[in-house]
Amino acid sequence: MRIAMIGTGYVGLVSGACFSDFGHEVVCVDKDARKIELLESGVMPIYEPGLAELVASNVRAGRLSFTTDLTAGVKDADAVFIAVGTPSRRGDGHADLSYVFAAAEEIGRALTKPSVIVTKSTVPVGTGDEVERILRDVAPDSGAKVVSNPEFLREGAAIADFKRPDRVVVGSEDEEATRVMREIYRPLSLNQSAPILFTGRRTAELIKYAANAFLAVKITFINEIADLCEQVGADVQEVARGIGSDNRIGPKFLHAGPGYGGSCFPKDTLALMKTAADNETPLRIVEATVQVNESRKRAMGRKVIKAMGGDARDKTVAVLGLTFKPNTDDMRDAPSLSIIAALQDAGAKVRAYDPEGTEQAKTMLNGVEFCPNPYVAAEGADALVIVTEWDEFRALDLGRVAKILKQPVLIDLRNIYPRSEAERAGLRLTSVGKRSSAAAR
């Protein structure tokens, strides 16, 4: 089928590349001429493992192309996916739908045949109704049908998530639109039995927000349990294994740490809260989750200062990992931002290293010395903090780290290292949700 993907951000580019790999003819459209120029030359605007190779192979095969011309991209499409940003709106926290509505209007003016208009962006309940109204106003005779098809891609594993999903959710009110969506996703049924869940359009829109909110609650729950573990002498990793072994709970998203960040959970929980409030059904659990998570990130900075003896003024802290999670360059709402701000407010000097996030971090962090590797960051520092669990931080030479640090203080906010291993290397370890080294308490 012929597919137009409006937006070449994270969701649009990954989805477009994967659809083309299924055999569909895909054109990705973006207003940013520089981004399109880079994509046409094989340079990816985001870091995602395997994406550059996937894009290159499908461009060579003639199934994937890029353009700034929305009219040319849309005119022959069987389906047009809207995959533009929906950031939190300044002032009230609602999802900013201006890009979605602008895209819908442009699409309507460009249509030359009946097409299925698919909202891939994360949007609040009822957005599809408004997109339908816009299309009806600008293209009353187009025959366009509006569908919701929310994405569930994890940064760092997006290609695998797209090709081997737990489920595909399609919200449709029209039989022909449903048929088109079945055809688009038909390659999945050839490879596996991934269920395609067909629902009403408003239900599909809410599924995305409900899923992200539930996962945010799960993360925040185990983080609060971690705080209790520290006070009572329990081990949060063992608690997580104990409760995660219950198949009603499951082991995923039970890893205690410095709080969640990224492009989805912070803005989606906030948007869901606003939608609920507008409909006079406040979601108090989600509200508490948002509040606790924001407080936690700053509290991790205080945890580092406490591990340093309670005073960080004129001391140097080495921070390993800046992105909100590994295998991405995404710095949006990353815990490192709040942690570093707390350290700098306390008078500390910060050195940092991240395998992929440095360029984005430089636009968001001031007064930080960026280093080329973990050991340069640690040289002469008063403490070393692991914030993001990149693979290359899982096998640090702890003996070497202990020798080059000014003070042998390791704060592991991802619980990568057991206390026994750190202490053998001569380090005083502070972890999350478990007993710290005696000298560090």
- Show which residues are catalytic: 264
Of 270, 310, 321, give the one whose Cα is nearest residue 87: 270
3-state secondary structure of 419: helix
Alpha-carbon distance of 2 to 65, in angstroms, equals 12
**Rounded Cα–Cα distance for residues 146 and 121 (Å):** 13
CA dihedral of residues 10, 12, 17, 18 (deg, nearest 10): 90
Pairwise CA distance, residues 162 & 279, whole Å: 33
Given strand 168-171, what is the order of strands in its sheet?
A: 64-67, 25-29, 2-6, 79-82, 116-119, 145-148, 168-171, 196-199
CB 286 within 8 A of CB 272: yes
Taking each helix axis from N to C terminus, what angle separates 51-60 and 10-21, rounded to the nearest 10 degrees?
50
Closest CA to 303 of 417, 395, 415, 425: 415
* Strands annotated E in 64-106: 64-67, 79-82
